Amino acid sequence: MKKAMFGLVSGLIILVALIIGLIRFTERIDNGNVGIRYSMNGGVKDKALGQGVHFVGLDYVTQYPIRTQTVHQEVGLATKDGKKTVVKISYAYHVDATKAVNVYKKFGSADILSIEKGWLSQKLQKAGRDTMSEYTLLDVMGSSSAKVQGGILTTFQKSVEKQGFIIEDLSFGVPSVDAQTQKSIDDLIKAGQDNKRAELEAKSKQIKAEAAAKAKLTRADATAQANEKINNSVTDKTIQYMEAQARLKHGWVTTQGNGSVITDQTK
């Protein structure tokens, strides 16, 4: 009985040891991630681990996402005209699987969240500062907003790509400003709209005036052309014919002698 009990306990101990060993000496790489192995006696392994369970022994494993991650961040920036503002910026990125080892060599055991809040955040702020310094606040909030967004994206991409981070896209929110600055911007926009409206109204009046003048000229040309056709079509024979037609209809007067005798002849 005691022997059987001892065997059962021994088996349980071995099973527990195997489970602990399996957990300790293997690493499960999540879907969409790669794993970087670091050995105490050999340093960083050159090849990253793909998804699935891997035997790693005593090596330490850090996982990085190769699927898309989205980050939302508020960035304090200043414009060309010295206006300070806070902008909400969102960007999507992933780690280049072929450069994951480089990421680990630069950041060591830091997880991806720490990298986002540290190094990536600093790079985004610098890209934002460099781009915003080329535009006034009115430009940023108006017609040049798309250029600002594109400039930040391009600068940010170039600054992190070599290290192994691929920035897929970036969205740039409306800068937040104090009430006084906002009122000044609103007044400028309204003034611009009023000027534009006045220009459109003036242009409309000009077009109408030009159209009326053109119509008047067209009518005058048509009348002149009609009169010219009539003048060109009237000949001596035409006049004689019209005179004969009138006499047939209304009669005519003939004077004989020296004008003392007048005879009214009709049909």
In order, the DSSP letters of 221-240 are HHHHHHHHHHHHH--HHHHH
Between 257 and 41, name the one with better pLDDT: 41
In this structure, what token pair is assigned to residue 174? 């409306």
Which tens digit of pLDDT belongs to each residue from 16-71?
544 554 555 677 888 888 888 887 776 777 677 877 777 777 778 888 888 999 99
Ordered by start, the domain boundaries in the chain are 10-64, 69-177
If DSSP codes are grouped into helix, strand and coil, which group holds residue 170? strand
Report which of 155, 168, 86 is spatially closest to residue 124, judged by C-alpha positions: 155
- Averaged confidence pLDDT in the chain: 77
Instruction: Please report the pLDDT score of residue 38 as a whole number.
Output: 82
| Average pLDDT over every residue of 176-203 | 64
Rounded Cα gap, residues 50 and 29, in angstroms: 7
Q: pLDDT band for 164, please (50, 70, 90 cuts).
A: very high
Flag whether pLDDT at 263 surpasses 50.
no
Which residue, chain included where needed, has tokens 């459109």?
Answer: 200
Report which of 78, 79, 162 is spatially closest to residue 119, judged by C-alpha positions: 162
Least confident of 149-153, 220-224, 254-258: 254-258
Q: pLDDT band for 261, please (50, 70, 90 cuts).
A: very low
Angle (deg, nearest 10), helices 121-132 and 145-161: 140
Instruction: Please report the pLDDT score of residue 11 as a whole number.
Output: 57
Which tens digit of pLDDT belongs to each residue from 214-234?
777 777 777 777 666 666 666
What CATH number belongs to 69-177?
A: 3.30.479.30
Instruction: Please report the pLDDT score of residue 5 as a whole number.
Output: 60
Q: pLDDT band for 156, please (50, 70, 90 cuts).
A: very high
